[in-house]
Structure 1
Amino acid sequence: MNRLMNNMMLDIGTLGKKAGCPILSVAAVMFKPATGRVGPTFYARIDYQAALKYGEPEDESLQWC
């Protein structure tokens, strides 16, 4: 039986739904679906001003924040 966790879930927090919107956070977790076991995690925030250099936010997303 393989006990290694070889499934990863990735999530990004953006300032919009379209391509090219700035990314404000990235998160990931390793997991094993058969058991529900969670392994190593990762989370990083991206500075708002830095994120704006790489994309254009949608007005709707800014109003929601």
Structure 2
Amino acid sequence: MSADRANAARRVLVEQGLTDTRVERVVGRAATEPLLPQTPDAAGNRRLTIMLLRGTGSH
């Protein structure tokens, strides 16, 4: 599920004009790195982090 959520975010960014080549990786980690490990089904574990880097490439 977390990988699906991450890929959905990537699709939205690309649909909004982000060049697909600017996406370095998409990773789902909720199953392996839950924010709230005591309650794996908690909404707080369904989170998304988007890291944008500026001036790091030739784009």
TM-score under structure 2 length normalisation: 0.26
Larger radius of gyration between Structure 1 and Structure 2: 1
Question: Which structure shows the bigger proportion of residues in helix conformation?
Answer: 2
Question: Which structure shows the bigger proportion of residues in strand conformation?
Answer: 1
TM-score under structure 1 length normalisation: 0.25
